[in-house]
Amino acid sequence: MTTRLAVLYGGQSGEHDVSCRSAASILAHLDRERYQVTEVLIDRDGGWHVGGRPTPLPAALRVLRAQDVVFPALHGPYGEDGTVSSLLEWLGVPYVGNGVFASAAGMDKGVTKRLLAADGLRVSPGVTLRPGEALSPEDQRRLELPVFVKPARAGSSLGVVKVDDWAGVPAALEQARQVDPKVLIEQGARGREIDVAVLQHPDGRVQAGPPLEIRVTGAGFFDYDAKYDGGAIFQIPAPLDAATTEVLQDRAVRAFQALDCRGLLRVDFFLPTEGSPEPIVNEVNTFPGFTAASQFPQIWQQAGIEFAALIDILIAGALADQDHGHPSGLPRPARAVDLV
């Protein structure tokens, strides 16, 4: 018996293209004898397309509601931020990945830092600025250069600016606010860039994969171009001793639990080369990239889980959540909602 599966992708965020690439990789690796696949695209203007055809929203929602499971391959706002999770919860259809809270909290870098710090994980000093706010003299004295100015709610390093002189902060704020009016200014961490992937299996077991080290080949940092245009080299597993690897994996699982995640998470660390050896959590990604160039599937391939098997595990986990009840402990809403 085949499983009815919708792959939902695109979206209105600046990561529309990345989402389409992720979806293309997922679609290419799905076992078509095992899954009856429906493609659902949200275009840049918010229009819905089912099977390549423009579709009115109520009809598109009926298609999603009729699925056994939905795979939301969405990155950034209006998708990865909990909005689509909320929609799918309301429709009562199981879906791959994180729920509303983890998605929303993980999308906001400032909120993420506070939650992780409250759980005892190490994060870089920083300050969140809302629209109209500027960096105060007190915060400037507290932070050390360089700092990174980041849109608080965006991914793929969109709008991120490295600042080596305080005079450059206003221009960096203006650039970041073109992506999100809420901005995080964060003290740059010195150390090796290490990513750890976390995967939840259908039986509930949470596993951290082998650490991946990022080596940027150019003079800059791991920005959008480095991520998607071959400007970085990934080394998996990272050349680390067993004790350091264990610490990184432990902290990644703790981050997964602190944010109440399910299914998957990628945790990006800085491993200090001086001072305290405790890893610094840089960012988390509640739906990491699934392109051929993405860290998450490469990490699990190194661990012996090929792309197709990784997708199967995530889908089976979503269906297991359905069998075990709604993640909040409440019954899922009835799926007989009228959509006109």
Residues with catalytic annotation?
Answer: 15, 156, 228, 266, 268, 283, 285, 289
Q: Quick one: DSSP state of residue 333?
A: P
Contact yes or no for 33/2 (Cβ under 8 A) = yes
Q: Is 303 left (phi over 0), alpha (psi -120 to 50) or beta?
A: alpha
Closest CA to 63 of 83, 85, 48, 77: 48
Return the C-alpha torsion angle 118, 115, 247, 143, nearest 10.
-80
Alpha-carbon span 331 to 340, nearest angstrom? 24
User: Helical H runs in 108-215?
Assistant: 109-118, 137-142, 169-177
Q: Where are the beta strands (DSSP E) in 105-226?
A: 126-129, 147-151, 161-163, 183-187, 191-200, 206-208, 212-216
Q: What are phi and psi of 24, to 5 degrees?
A: -60, -40
Q: Give first-to-last CA distance, the chain, whole Å.
A: 30
